């Protein structure tokens, strides 16, 4: 696509995409270019976008079926839109900790597109993204071998009840099992696929063994700066990330100021697989 320009944020993760107006439907050539950039960079930042909710959803639908968040299944108006609002009165900000979106689902989102329209007057409110390809690659060969074949449980009650204090729906929030090491279905690359937001334990291990391994992996993610790309939001910025190979952390460093955005997510065609 001749008018699309890619400006990397880091050498391995994240890129700003120039020359694309997401308010217009992506034609086949545009979609192919954006999709390839998505696979190459995992986190795409589109600035100066002016979208209504239908245009936002249309962008997401170009990549697949839109997801409805487990905490908002009973809402009828724009159920695919997840509002991300933090003010001085908020008890928490969504995503304030390293996580991968909704891995408690059997088919977690393959990607999420967050459109921020209000940023804090004081600055701040960035989102950190971490490269789970690189997180896997930086492990020792013996650690990789030990983790291969292990399966972890991902439980929606951990964030939605434990952190957000929401009332579970009838039957509770989703709970699913996924491999600790997955293979990205499109790139074929290995991914470290556990996250502090949703992963409760590794099956088949004693509790202290599971906790020790998970805590080590979470420290690895949180304390390795080379994994991270930082997105600085401006009003009318849309960021689209590959949920299959990244984690992210919304930094709440702007109290008592406000930030507002809306997110759509796309359901994956297949379950996470080794």
Tokens of 219: 């420290």
The active-site residue out of 99, 201, 244, 249 is 99
131 is catalytic: no
Neighbours of 63 (CB within 10 A): 20
Of the candidates 160, 87, 156, 136, the residue with the CA atom closest to the CA atom of residue 246: 136
Q: Which residues have C-beta within 8 Å of that of residue 260, sequence separation ≥ 6?
A: 83, 84, 85, 86, 116, 117, 118
Q: Which of 56, 248, 249, 259 is catalytic?
A: 248
Of the candidates 67, 184, 244, 263, the residue annotated as catalytic is 263
Instruction: Clarify whether 257 is annotated catalytic.
Output: no
Active site residue 178: no
Long-range CB pairs of 268-271 (<8 Å, 24+ gap) are 268/64, 268/107, 268/108, 268/109, 268/110, 268/185, 268/243, 268/244, 269/64, 269/107, 269/110, 269/185, 270/107, 270/185, 271/106, 271/107, 271/178
Decide if 249 is catalytic: no
Active-site residue among 56, 67, 69, 101? 101
Q: So which residues are the catalytic ones?
A: 99, 101, 248, 263
């Amino acid at each position: 696509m001749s008018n699309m320009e890619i400006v990397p944020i880091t050498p391995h993760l994240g890129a700003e995409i120039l020359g694309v107006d997401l308010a217009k439907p992506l034609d086949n050539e545009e979609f192919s270019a954006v999709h390839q950039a998505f696979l190459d960079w995992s986190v795409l930042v589109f600035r100066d976008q002016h979208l209504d909710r239908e245009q936002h959803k249309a962008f997401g639908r170009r990549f697949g079926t839109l997801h409805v968040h487990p905490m908002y299944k009973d809402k009828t108006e724009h159920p695919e839109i997840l509002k991300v609002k933090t003010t001085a009165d908020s008890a928490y900000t969504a995503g304030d900790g390293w996580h991968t979106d909704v891995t408690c689902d059997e088919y977690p989102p393959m990607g999420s597109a967050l459109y921020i329209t209000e940023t804090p007057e004081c600055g701040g409110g960035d989102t950190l993204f971490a490269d789970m390809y690189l997180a896997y690659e930086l492990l020792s060969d013996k650690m990789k071998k030990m983790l291969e074949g292990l399966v972890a449980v991902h439980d929606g009650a951990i964030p939605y009840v434990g952190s957000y204090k929401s009332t579970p729906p009838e039957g509770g929030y989703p709970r699913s099992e996924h491999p600790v090491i997955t293979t990205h279905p499109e790139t074929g690359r290995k991914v470290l696929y556990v996250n502090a937001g949703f992963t409760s334990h590794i099956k088949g291990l004693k509790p202290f063994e599971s906790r020790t391994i998970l805590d080590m992996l979470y420290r690895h993610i949180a304390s390795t700066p080379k994994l991270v790309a930082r997105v600085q939001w401006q009003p009318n910025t849309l960021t689209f990330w590959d949920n299959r190979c990244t984690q992210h952390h919304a930094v709440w460093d702007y109290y008592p100021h406000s930030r507002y955005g809306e997110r759509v997510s796309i359901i994956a065609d297949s379950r996470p697989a080794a």
